[in-house]
Structure 1
Amino acid sequence: MNPRIAFVAAPVLTFTYGVIRILDGLDGSRGPGLAWTTGHLAFIGALVFFAMTFHEIRRLAGRGRLATGLVAAGYIGITTLIAQFTIDLVVGFRSADHAAMDVMFDQVQSVPGVQQVVYGFGPLLFFVAQIGLVLQLAIQRRVKAWMPVLVIADVLVPFVEKDLMPLGAACLLISFLALARVSRASRPAGGRHRVDESAVPAAA
C-alpha cells in the first residue's frame, strides 16, 4: 500500500472515532450499541494505518537503532491498544446495557496484568513512539520544527479532555500531510526507495 494513504487514513479514522465517541455520549453514557461498535472499529483501523506510518517514518529517519527501537515500542503499544479496543467490542456485544458493561469490564480488568499492560503501560508506548519518531525527523532536519508540536498536541489533548480528540486528530492530519509530502519526495518516480543517508527535503 502507498504509505501516503496511511498518513491520511490514520488521523482521519482517529477523528472519526473522536466524533462518534462524542455522539455516543450525548445520552449520558457510552455503549453498547452501533455508535460504540462503529467508533471502536474506526480506531482499530486507525491503529493499523499508524503501524504503516511508523514503518515509513523509520525509513525516512534512516533505519537506525533509535528509530528501530521506537518503532518496536510503537508496535507493542499498537498491539495493546488493539487488544484494549477488542475487549471493548466484545464487552459491548455481550452486554445488554451500560451497567452490564461496567460489571464485565470490572471482571476483565481484575485479571492479573490486564489493567497494567492493556490499559496502562502498553498504550503509552504508542504515544511515546509517535512523538519520538517525529522528533527524530525534526532533529535530523528532515521535517520542520512545527511538525512535532502538532503531533505532541494530538497526543496530549485527549489526556486533558477526551472530547477534544477530534481537534487533536486535526492537528495530526496537518502534520501527517506534510510527512506524506516528505515521503513522496524521498522516493524516485519508479517507487523504489531512495538511499536514506541523503538529506530528505523538509516539509514546507
Structure 2
Amino acid sequence: MKTYQPALAAPLLVGLYGAIRLLPGSKEPEAGWLLGHAALLAGLLLFVPVLLELRRRVASRLLSTVALTVAGTGLAASVGQTLIDLWVGAVAVDKADQRRLFGEVQDVPGVLPVFYTVLPTLFYLGLLVLLFAAVRRIPVWSPLLVLVATVMMAMDLDLMTPGALLFALALRPLTGSAGVPGRPVTA
C-alpha cells in the first residue's frame, strides 16, 4: 500500500512549532525561537506536495488549478513570514532589538498584508477548497476537521499544536494507511 508521508509530517512539524512556542524563552531571539521557526518552515514546505496530491484527487482541473494557486500563494506568503521571523531571531541581540527589527521590517509598505495578515490566509482557503472538492476521494470529515483547526488557530496561536494534530488527522487519508479507500471520481 502506497504511503504519503508529507501529509503527516507537514502538520506534525507545524505542531512541533506550536509546542516549542509555548516554552519559556521561545519568544526571545534564542535557540527556541530558531528551532521552532525551523520546524515551522520545514512543515510549511512539506505542504507543497500535500497540495499537489490534493489537486490530483480533484476531478475539475479548473477548480483544482485555481485552488492550488490560491493555496500556493498563501503558502508562499507564510514561508516568507517564517523566513523574516528566522532572520529577525538570528540577528536580534535581545527582545528589544527583536521588536525594533520587526518594526523596521513591518513598517515597509505592503509587508504586513503580504506576509502577515492577508495573503497567508489564502493558504487555508485554497486548502479547504481542495479538500472539499476532493471529498469524492477522501472522507467528508477531512475538510471539516481542517476548518475547525483553522478557526481554532486563528482564535489563539496557543492552540496551534492541537490544531496541527487535527490537520494531521484530517490529512491521514492521503497517507494510504487510514483504512479509507479512495472513492473513484466519476465524470
- TM above 0.5, yes or no, is yes
Given the alignment of the two structures, is residue 120 of structure 1 paired with residue 105 of structure 2, yes or no? no
SS at match of 2:59: coil
Considering Cα pairs closer than 8 Å and 6+ residues apart, tell me whether 1 or 2 has the greater RCO: 2
Q: Give ranges in structure 1 of 5+ residues lacking alignment.
A: 187-197
Question: Alignment length, in residue pairs?
Answer: 183
Which of 165, 169, 173 pairs up with 2:160?
165
Counterpart amino acid of 1:21? Answer: R
Residue 133 of structure 1: aligned partner: 130
Name which of 56, 60, 76 aligns with 1:59.
56
Shift of 1:31: 1.8
1:3 touches 1:56 (CA, 8 Å); kept in 2?
A: no
Distance of aligned partners of 1:179 and 1:73 in 2 relative to their CA distance in 1, 3 Å threshold: same
Shift of 1:155: 1.1
User: Residues of 2 paired with 1:144 and 1:22: CA distance?
Assistant: 32
TM-score (norm 1): 0.83
Supply the distance in 2 between the matched residues of 1:121 and 1:3 (Cα, whole angstroms): 34
Q: Shift of the alpha carbon at 1:63?
A: 5.6
The TM-score normalised by the length of structure 2 is 0.90
Structure label with greater radius of gyration: 1
Which residue in 2 is equivalent to 1:34? 31
* Residue ranges of structure 2 left out of the alignment (5+ in a row): none
* Alignment match, 1:20: 20
User: In angstroms, what is the RMSD of aligned CA positions?
Assistant: 2.1
State the partner residue of 2:77. 80
Cα distance in structure 1, aligned partners of 2:8 and 2:156: 23
Aligned AA (1:175): A
